[in-house]
Every structure is written in structure tokens, then in C-alpha cells.
Structure 1
């Protein structure tokens, strides 16, 4: 088995890089990928996988799940802004 496939810290570095990209392009686009990479770091640290396509497929699935969870979590939050439907200056 190749050593570079068992390096969990590479996934942490990828997550940090994606977090920096998220700071530059806000909108929770890359945050799901960063969360997926952090989860992948934990999986690779616990289970040694040697199949690169399987690792990438698992990363894609975990990132999609994280992105959907973020969308659901932030959709529930209200900004508290009041919507004005009538102008006070109109009679």
C-alpha cells in the first residue's frame, strides 16, 4: 500500500485550503468541500484505504451531504429583517 494514501494530514491541508478559498468566495460553496475533507481525514486516519477512485467518490458523497446539511441549517435562520409593504409617506 502506498504511504501517500494513508496520510490523513493531507486531507486536513486540503480542508484548510478550501476554507481559505471559502473566505475569498463566500456563499457556503466551498465550506461543504472543506467539511468533507475534514471527515475524510478522520476516515483515512482510522481506516487505511488504498483505492484512489473510492477515496474520491467517498469525498464527493461526504461533501454533498455536508453541503446539503449547511443549506438546511442556514435556511432555517432568519435575518430578522422586517419587510416593508406600505410606505409611511403615502396617504
Structure 2
């Protein structure tokens, strides 16, 4: 099964990192970090053996790692400067 090999996860992380360069927005970078973490977990012996027994658990760890890395990256990178300013008050009031 390809989802239990560590190099496939790291190759997927590399592909997602390349997609982030082509379409910036910190979305693909979060998924790339999650895939890299799962790939590293599969590379570690006992943890990878435990993860190989359950595909849903692997996907849960991938999803949680991707979400956590996306939130951290969003906090670090902040709001993009090119976004329009939203005015909530009317200047005539």
C-alpha cells in the first residue's frame, strides 16, 4: 500500500510545496507540512508501524497536522498587505 511508505508522503509534501510557489496563499504549505509530518512519522519505526494499521487514523493525523500548521503559518505570516480595507463606519455619520 502506497499510503504506508514514508517516501510517498514526503514526495507529496514536495509536490504541495511546489504548488504553493505557483499559487501562493499558505493553503498548500499547510498541507505540505502535514504530509511531511506524516512521512516522518512513517519513517520512525514503532510509530510508523502503528500508523500503518489504520488508514483513517493516518488521515486524522494528517488533517490535524495540516490544520495546526496552517493556523501557525497564518499567525506568523499575518494578513496580506494587498487585501482591501473594509470600512465599517460611514464617514457622513
Taking structure 2 as the reference length, the TM-score comes to: 0.73
Q: Of the candidates 29, 32, 35, which is equivalent to residue 31 of structure 1? A: 29
Alignment of 1:1-91 (within 5 A): 4-46=2-44, 47=47, 48=49, 49=51, 50-75=53-78
- Between the two proteins, the alignment pairs up a number of residues equal to 76
Q: Which has the larger radius of gyration?
A: 1
**Between Structure 1 and Structure 2, which shows a larger proportion of helix residues?**
2
Taking structure 1 as the reference length, the TM-score comes to: 0.74
Q: CA RMSD in A?
A: 2.0
Runs of at least 5 residues in structure 2 that lack an aligned partner in the other structure? 82-93
Runs of at least 5 residues in structure 1 that lack an aligned partner in the other structure? 80-91
Runs of 4+ off more than 6 Å: none
